[in-house]
Amino acid sequence: MTRTLVSFDWALKRLLRQKANFSILEGFLSVLLKRDIIIVNLLESESNADDGEQKINRVDLLVENEQKERLIIELQYSKEFDYFQRMLFATSKHLTETLQKGKPYQDIKKVFSINLIYFDLGHGTDYVYHGKTEFRGIHQDDVLGLSVQQKELFQKEALYEIYPEYYVIKINNFDDIAQDSLDEWIYYFKNNEVKDEFNARGLAAVKAQLQFDSLSKEEQQAYENHEKMLLAERGILATARIEGKAEGRVEGRVEGRVEGEQQARIEMARKMKANGFAPTTITELTGLSPHEIINL
């Protein structure tokens, strides 16, 4: 089988954390936000931390740009009904943890939550959604804005620029017809391919730097294992949801789904352990703790 580009989730996990590859992420973020984005720092995030809670179906990355804005990029395969709340929690947690005690509120950093999801979230037919905070008068229907003094103090033109902004890209809703630069990026996310005619910023670097054949033999094997486990987990979780729903009709839908998915992860870990996978790899791919794996 001829391999071309590695998937974006693998790139987020392994390759885009290297400064030499920042141009790829800068390209995507610039196209999405419609302005020039230069990354200056890769900050600590859930996926950066080796805390034993990573799951194969989720990747997140936290970066800081030249304007000291924080951008949380999260990629998710498995369906989560409370994903909207998780987006809110991630931005709120970051805001509270980064404002140093005693500092004025004006030092709060602007946060963008960028979510690449491979499941149907909410109810909507589009594939790109943008959410931002707006205060609208209930009597005059006017939009509350910043005063001249606040604009000067905060270096912002509009009130929404202070608050977190959210982007949700529902990749599976994309029809594979690229009509602009953002569509070209989404086509890559969905198909692991960059067409010759695509010219969106950053995609040339994707074609040059994210080739499967350019990986070391160890990285190629790790990527193959990642893809296999991803397919296996998605299949197992799909089965678990069906079983969980059936069980949930008697014992409660939520409880049944959670128990089904946890059992699926345990069964996956057992198989991996039997096939000689390292405990750290099993932890990363299943989300089980090292203690749980040892006791299997």
Residue 1 lies in a domain: no
Do 60 and 169 belong to one domain? yes
The predicted-structure confidence for 12-37, as pLDDT tens digits, reads as follows: 988 899 898 999 999 999 999 999 99
What is the pLDDT averaged over residues 77-97? 91
Residue 3 lies in a domain: no
Q: What per-residue confidence (pLDDT) applies to 244? A: 55
Q: What per-residue confidence (pLDDT) applies to 79? A: 82
pLDDT band at 45 (very low <50, low <70, confident <90, very high): low
Q: What per-residue confidence (pLDDT) applies to 55? A: 47
Residue 190 lies in a domain: yes
Residue 22 lies in a domain: yes
Do 227 and 183 belong to one domain? no
Do 264 and 235 belong to one domain? yes
Q: Which of 213, 241, 267 is the last residue of a domain?
A: 213
Do 177 and 230 belong to one domain? no
Do 223 and 193 belong to one domain? no
Residue 2 lies in a domain: no
CB atoms within 10 A of CB 220: 15
Count how many domains the chain has. Answer: 2
What is the pLDDT averaged over residues 263-292? 78
Do 195 and 225 belong to one domain? no
Q: Which of 172, 189, 213 is the last residue of a domain?
A: 213
Strand 111-117, strand 165-170: pairing: parallel
Do 209 and 221 belong to one domain? no
Residue 98 lies in a domain: yes
Do 209 and 225 belong to one domain? no
Do 185 and 227 belong to one domain? no
The predicted-structure confidence for 234-244, as pLDDT tens digits, reads as follows: 665 555 555 55
Q: What per-residue confidence (pLDDT) applies to 138? A: 97
Q: What per-residue confidence (pLDDT) applies to 50? A: 41
The residue segments making up the domain with residue 79 are: 8-213
pLDDT at 226 over 70: yes
Q: What per-residue confidence (pLDDT) applies to 256? A: 61
Q: Which of 148, 179, 213 is the last residue of a domain?
A: 213
pLDDT at 250 over 50: no
Residue 107 lies in a domain: yes
The predicted-structure confidence for 182-191, as pLDDT tens digits, reads as follows: 999 999 999 9
Do 170 and 55 belong to one domain? yes
pTM of the model: 0.77
Do 28 and 60 belong to one domain? yes
Closest alpha carbon to 168 in 112, 238, 206, 230: 112
Q: What per-residue confidence (pLDDT) applies to 52? A: 34
pLDDT at 251 over 70: no
Do 147 and 289 belong to one domain? no
What's the per-residue H, E or C state across 43-106? ECCCCCCCCCCCCCCEEEEEEEECCCCEEEEEEECCCCCCHHHHHHHHHHHHHHHHCCCCCCHH
Better-scored residue on pLDDT, 254 or 75:
75
Q: What per-residue confidence (pLDDT) applies to 77? A: 87
